[in-house]
Structure 1
Amino acid sequence: MIDQKKILAIIPARGGSKRLPRKNILPIAGKPLIQWTIEASLDSKYIDSTFVSTDCSEIAETAKSCGAQVPYLRSDILSNDTATSMDVVLDAIDNYERSGQVFDFVLLLQPTSPLRTTGDIDGAIEMFQSKSADAVVSVTECEHSPLWSNTLPSDFSLSNFIPDSVLKQRSQDLPKYYRLNGAIYLFNVKHVKEGISYLSLPRSFAYAMDKSHSIDIDDNFDFSVAEAFLMNAK
């Protein structure tokens, strides 16, 4: 709770994963993947409830054993490839409100970001408070400037690949770019219900996270890199 406002953390964890089967509960650095996010949420000074939204009973049991709430299993409609994260968030808000639990803010935490820490979470919440924000979303600095990238034609020609105006600059003199890292999405519940995108809100802010905390696991390579970081942090 912050300023007497209640915060619901939602961890979406679908059972199906094409690239990494059973991804959300695969053991990584000695714990199921989802446990890293559950523990980071439970250790927060501000989060009132940590809820795992899943369609999988195995994930549900793992989440419960780690201390998260799993009062129901997500419907098949919300577990297919067309369902969005906001669909899952709205479903959670609706289910909690029907049980008499009302939250002011909702925090979406993807379980595929195991290096995101409690400090990152609390820092984002504190930014939300200090800026009287409508939304705070985590970002990280781009590994390489997007100005050094372009599409390629079918023959892979590099002609005009990088504009001369960019080539003449040293990389350290180029503007700093950031990307969404998928780790933290904090919203005001009323805006979620209204269907307003956080990018459309006038008081939406970026919370910058360290690159080492921003690995988002999508495939085996990401998994191996994240595990190396987690093992090194022990």
Structure 2
Amino acid sequence: MTQQLDIVAIIPARAGSKRLPGKNMLPLAGKPLIQWSLDAAKESGVVDLTLVTSDDPAVLELARQQDVMAIKRPLELASDTATTVDAVLNALQQLESKGYSAQRVVLLQPTSPLRTAQNIQSAVQRMEETSATSIVSVCAMDHTPLWANTLPHDGNMDQFLSTELINKRSQDLPTYYRLNGAVYLINKQALIDHHNFFVPPTYALLMDRTNSVDIDTAEDLVFAEFLSRQQSN
């Protein structure tokens, strides 16, 4: 008999990282990077089952030690060209084969370690308040994209900004938001049907920039270490 769950958290942790090898197990404030997402899922109180999908034996062993479901990711889904959605869908198939079925899926990427249990709770609350199919976390941008443009080969900036923007102050411009990669919550069937996390109606979960750090480089890890220590003081 299939056990029906409401929310399953899926944490994808591919071994390969060219810019920061083995990053999912690198230490951040005294614990492996992936541990931050495992802890947030557990502490949220809204996740019925947490699942780690990885091709990294160390990551899988860490998950098993904490009674977290560990799914060995097929090699074809662990390459540089494999998508996160494909890995999540494969994990859901393997979850079904083990006798579990979920209504909703929350994707927690380990590269967003400062996302909190409260952020996950807020995503669930936002979904229920809006009757959304999916919730996607964002944060305000540090700098307005209206002040950005491409450059020609010679670096000429005569057309870099439109004339109405040249004397504008940043506080007079609209606030722009960016995806921060921290929380994706979606109805499972919608994810299966559409193969993406943006299925209408999709609503934003606004997060602080402090909690939106994305670990991609060694410098990102140093910055996250600094922020985590600031928050603990």
TM range (shorter): over 0.9
The superposition leaves residues 39-86 of structure 1 with CA deviations (integer Å, 9 ceiling, x where unpaired) of 00011121101111001111111223344221x311101101121111
CA contact (8 A) 1:25 1:62 kept: no
Amino acid at match of 1:230: S
Query: Paired residue for 1:210?
Result: 208
Q: How much does 1:196 deviate?
A: 4.9
Q: How much does 1:227 deviate?
A: 0.7
Amino acid at match of 1:219: T
1:62 to 1:5, Cα distance in 2 relative to 1, 3 A: closer
Tell me which moved more, 168-177 or 6-15: 168-177
Aligned-pair RMSD on alpha carbons?
Answer: 1.3
TM-score by length of 2: 0.94
CA distance in 1, matches of 2:65, 2:172: 50
CA distance in 2, matches of 1:81, 1:27: 23
Matched residue SS, 2:161 = coil
Q: How much does 1:5 deviate?
A: 6.0
Query: Would you say 1:226 and 2:224 are equivalent positions?
Result: yes
CA distance in 2, matches of 1:181, 1:167: 29
Query: Would you say 1:90 and 2:89 are equivalent positions?
Result: yes
Matched residue SS, 1:103 = strand
Matched residue SS, 2:118 = helix
Structure 1 residue runs without a partner (length 5+):
none
1:100 to 1:150, Cα distance in 2 relative to 1, 3 A: same
CA contact (8 A) 2:14 2:55 kept: yes
Structure 2 residue runs without a partner (length 5+):
none
Query: Paired residue for 1:45?
Result: 45
CA distance in 2, matches of 1:5, 1:93: 12
Q: How much does 1:197 deviate?
A: 3.4
Q: How much does 1:21 deviate?
A: 1.1
TM-score by length of 1: 0.94
Query: Would you say 1:105 and 2:112 are equivalent positions?
Result: no
Query: Paired residue for 1:141?
Result: 140
CA distance in 2, matches of 1:63, 1:230: 23
Query: Would you say 1:9 and 2:4 are equivalent positions?
Result: no
CA distance in 2, matches of 1:167, 1:63: 53
Query: Paired residue for 2:177?
Result: 178
CA contact (8 A) 1:35 1:66 kept: no
CA contact (8 A) 1:38 1:66 kept: no
Query: Paired residue for 1:68?
Result: 68
Amino acid at match of 1:61: E
Tell me which moved more, 11-20 or 58-67: 58-67
